């Protein structure tokens, strides 16, 4: 009998595998046309798509569609209705009983019990007062009491809380849930901007965006920082640390309340106005969303919400991230999917965000969480048993939902592994992201600055790092982000100039070789990354002007100091300091991209990467870029390849005196093409390339100068 049963089970299993192997992926052939090596993993790609598609169909069948399923924030949590009654709903499958208590009932724990529903859900309805007023006022404090199976009464905050605040010192450290229902809610005045063809992201943190040693506010950011961003030529904000986190020093990556915008910067209406003002300037606003893990906090986080080890997370070891000391979501849980997908809808609808940068995607994609794992590029690393299909399915479903409902949405994956097809449409069997972060690029720059003398830089290897990305999977390039700014590391400006930044950044100071080199290389590093490294560009707040020092949040180890948790705008605003040169070059670089749009064109064609000369030249979007990283040697009559015949002019020069350079290039010079192929390009021209200088040439007309001339 056992043998027959086993045979039957194996037969059924084989039948299921065969069914999965022929899952109809609408446009999968596009994937194989672009990368034939993926054909070897066709069965696995089809299987993954099948898991996603089955889940999508289940949601449609059981929940009435993805729109309804992802609008759970409208019913879960605590809501004040139009008739001033109150509706409450929670999911707590491990609880024996739930109660609501707070200001409204004199903090009597068992006075307002929830009613148990199916599937671990609980519901409470509180009618309006006899006089028609609401029993729970705006600003009231609340808690949920979870009665566990052993009879213990546990204080919790609702996972769906939309506003939580740090308590007064005398009341402890646990964040408190506050009802947010102001009589006057902010009304958006401006529609979302159209999705930009070229994405130039200003990554920013509201709390550190003030010169003063304090936590900055939404209002201050709106009034003081947005105008700077617009002037610099960025078209997107990426807001970090918005989802509430009890520990400020976590940089927002230990989220405690997923639906609450952080109250330390202000209230929800002030964040809405910040986003609305950004939209008025044509800026799209991305939220740095953390769905890869959650804080271990119990009293003011999701952890052990229903009194058990699991609920929103995997139980046991699978639910723990050992490196981050945090909890890991159970993406196979129906209610976890409802919670996380609705969380994305909440920020799109309530706050009018334009998209998301998904944090920690590599940790989600693999059972190893990426810990101690290097990715060599072998496709078996991506399509083997180490891939966490449940997490990948969640990400695919999230991208599918977002792009179906918001055609102009932008999604970015923080993935260091290089998972193939992660940034291809779901219809091709891909993950559906629009961009991934080029995380190898900042590592390469730090390695060069930290380990190699200028004359020993391997420009061929540098070019490889900047161009080594998957064809038609968009990458956001950056020389440094918040990761490089944190204490324990150094910004590029600090690696270049920390020895003399405090003594020689004045225009009145004696000339300094250290500062001279630092300013020159800072500009070159950014332009090369911007122009060659991807289809989008990112800069972290303050790095555009070479912000000195690192970033360190108040903590016991620094006596709770805000000295390093701020941005010193006074430095770039001072006409007597050289920081403004870097800032102005950053603006010129962005405005030039806006004019020519190289980020939305094919990758640059590299025509030269000369190890001896330390010269790199390439063309993109019709522009010719030349970089001479040689620390001492300038080159006259230096031949570079150009893509088209004609006359070229100088449109950007890092050595321009207005950018703190030496003014060695003549801006009135015209560069004529010769019918002499060079570096794989059909034409060439001759240039003067000063040491430690980069410049950009743009075509003027189609005039051809023959080689005899």
Tell me how far apart the alpha carbons of residues 283 and 202 are, in angstroms, rounded to a whole number.
10
Contact by Cβ (8 Å): 607, 678: yes
Tell me how far apart the alpha carbons of residues 229 and 204 are, in angstroms, rounded to a whole number.
10
276 alpha-carbon distance from chain centroid = 20
Q: Which residues of 674-707 are buried (b: 16+ CB within 10 A; e: fewer)?
A: beeebbebebbbebbbbbbbbbbbbbeeeeebee
For residue 405, the tally of other CB atoms under 10 A from its CB is 15
For the record, the structure tokens of 117 come out as 């529903």
455 flagged as catalytic: no
For the record, the structure tokens of 484 come out as 């490089």
The H-or-E segment that residue 155 falls in is: strand 153-156
Contact by Cβ (8 Å): 265, 206: yes
DSSP string of 226-283, one letter each residue? HHHHHHHT--EEEEES-EE-S-GGGTT-S-SEEEEEPGGG--HHHHHHHHHHHHHTT-
Selected catalytic residue, list 244, 414, 428, 480? 414
Tell me how far apart the alpha carbons of residues 159 and 297 are, in angstroms, rounded to a whole number.
12
Selected catalytic residue, list 44, 276, 300, 359? 359
Tell me how far apart the alpha carbons of residues 679 and 607 are, in angstroms, rounded to a whole number.
4
For residue 132, the tally of other CB atoms under 10 A from its CB is 8
The H-or-E segment that residue 387 falls in is: none
687 alpha-carbon distance from chain centroid = 39
For residue 79, the tally of other CB atoms under 10 A from its CB is 17
637 flagged as catalytic: no
Contact by Cβ (8 Å): 421, 38: yes
Tell me how far apart the alpha carbons of residues 634 and 692 are, in angstroms, rounded to a whole number.
8
Task: Taking each helix axis as running N to C, give the angle between helix 42-63 and helix 2-21, from 0 to 180 degrees, rounded to the nearest 10.
Answer: 90
What is Dmax (Cα atoms) for the chain?
97
Tell me how far apart the alpha carbons of residues 327 and 312 are, in angstroms, rounded to a whole number.
9
Tell me how far apart the alpha carbons of residues 196 and 193 are, in angstroms, rounded to a whole number.
8
- Please, which residues bridge with residue 36 across strands? none
Tell me how far apart the alpha carbons of residues 32 and 38 are, in angstroms, rounded to a whole number.
6
For the record, the structure tokens of 71 come out as 């609008």
DSSP string of 128-180, one letter each residue? PPTTS--SS-TT-EEEEEEE-TTS-EEEE--TT-S-EEPPPGGG-SS-EEE--
Tell me how far apart the alpha carbons of residues 49 and 53 are, in angstroms, rounded to a whole number.
6
Any idea which residues carry the catalytic annotation?
359, 414
């Amino acid at each position: 009998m056992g043998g027959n049963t086993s045979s039957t089970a194996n037969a059924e299993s084989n039948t299921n595998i065969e069914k999965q192997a022929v899952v109809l992926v609408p446009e999968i052939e596009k994937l194989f046309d672009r990368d034939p090596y993926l054909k070897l993993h066709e069965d696995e790609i089809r299987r993954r798509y099948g898991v996603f598609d089955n889940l999508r169909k289940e949601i449609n069948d059981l929940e009435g569609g993805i729109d309804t399923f992802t609008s759970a924030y409208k019913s879960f949590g605590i809501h004040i209705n139009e008739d001033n009654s109150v509706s409450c709903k929670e999911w707590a499958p491990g609880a024996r009983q739930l109660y609501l208590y707070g200001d409204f009932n004199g903090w009597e724990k068992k006075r307002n019990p929830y009613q148990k529903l199916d599937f671990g859900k609980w519901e409470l309805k509180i009618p309006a007062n006899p006089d028609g007023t609401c029993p729970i006022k705006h600003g009231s404090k609340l808690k949920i009491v979870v009665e566990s199976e052993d009879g213990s009464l546990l204080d919790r905050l609702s996972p769906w809380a939309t506003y939580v605040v740090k308590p007064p010192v005398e009341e402890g450290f646990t964040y408190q849930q506050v009802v947010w229902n102001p009589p006057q809610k902010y009304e958006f005045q401006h529609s979302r901007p159209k999705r930009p063809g070229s994405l130039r992201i200003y990554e920013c943190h509201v709390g550190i965006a003030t010169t003063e040693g304090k936590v900055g506010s939404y209002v201050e950011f709106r009034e003081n920082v947005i105008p700077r961003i617009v002037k610099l030529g960025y078209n997107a904000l990426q807001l970090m640390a918005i989802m509430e986190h009890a520990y400020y020093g976590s940089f927002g990556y230990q989220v405690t309340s997923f639906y609450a915008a952080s109250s330390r910067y202000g209230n929800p209406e002030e964040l809405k106005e910040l986003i609305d003002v950004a939209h008025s300037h044509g800026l799209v606003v991305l939220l740095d969303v953390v769905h890869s893990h959650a804080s271990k906090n119990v009293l003011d986080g999701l952890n052990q919400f229903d009194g058990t080890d699991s609920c929103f997370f995997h139980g046991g070891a699978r639910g723990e991230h050992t490196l981050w000391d945090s909890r890991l979501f159970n993406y196979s849980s129906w209610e976890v999917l409802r919670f996380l997908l609705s969380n994305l809808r909440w920020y799109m609808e309530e706050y009018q965000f334009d998209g998301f940068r998904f944090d920690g995607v590599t940790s989600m994609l693999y059972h190893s969480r990426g810990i101690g794992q290097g990715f060599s590029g072998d496709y078996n690393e991506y399509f083997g048993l180490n891939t966490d299909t449940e997490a990948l399915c969640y990400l695919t479903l999230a991208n599918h939902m977002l792009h179906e409902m918001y055609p102009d949405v932008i999604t970015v994956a923080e993935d260091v592994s290089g998972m193939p097809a992660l940034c291809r449409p779901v219809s091709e069997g891909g993950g559906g992201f629009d961009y991934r972060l080029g995380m190898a690029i900042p590592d390469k720059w730090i390695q060069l600055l930290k380990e190699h003398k200028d004359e020993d830089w391997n420009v061929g290897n540098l070019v490889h790092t900047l161009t080594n990305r998957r064809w038609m999977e968009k990458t956001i390039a950056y020389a440094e982000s918040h990761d490089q700014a944190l204490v324990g590391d150094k910004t590029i400006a600090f690696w270049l100039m920390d020895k003399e930044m405090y003594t020689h950044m004045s225009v009145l100071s004696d000339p300094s070789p250290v500062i001279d080199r630092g300013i020159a290389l800072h500009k070159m590093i950014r332009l090369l990354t911007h122009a060659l490294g991807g289809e989008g560009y990112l800069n972290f707040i303050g790095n555009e002007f070479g912000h000195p020092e690192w970033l360190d949040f108040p903590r016991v180890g620094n006596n709770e100091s805000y000295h390093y948790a701020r941005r010193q705008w006074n430095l770039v605003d001072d006409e007597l300091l050289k920081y403004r040169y870097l800032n102005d070059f950053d603006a010129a670089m962005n405005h030039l991209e806006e004019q020519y749009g190289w980020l939305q064109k094919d990758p640059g064609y590299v025509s030269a990467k000369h190890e001896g000369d330390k010269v790199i030249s390439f063309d993109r979007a019709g522009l010719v870029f030349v970089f001479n990283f040689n620390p001492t040697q300038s080159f006259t009559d230096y031949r570079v390849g150009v893509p088209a015949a004609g006359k070229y002019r100088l449109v950007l020069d890092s050595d321009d005196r207005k950018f703190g350079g030496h003014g060695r290039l003549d801006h009135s010079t015209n560069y004529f093409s010769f019918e002499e192929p060079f570096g794989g390009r059909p034409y060439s021209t001759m240039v003067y390339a000063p040491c430690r200088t980069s410049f950009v040439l743009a075509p003027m007309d189609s005039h051809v100068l023959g080689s005899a001339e």
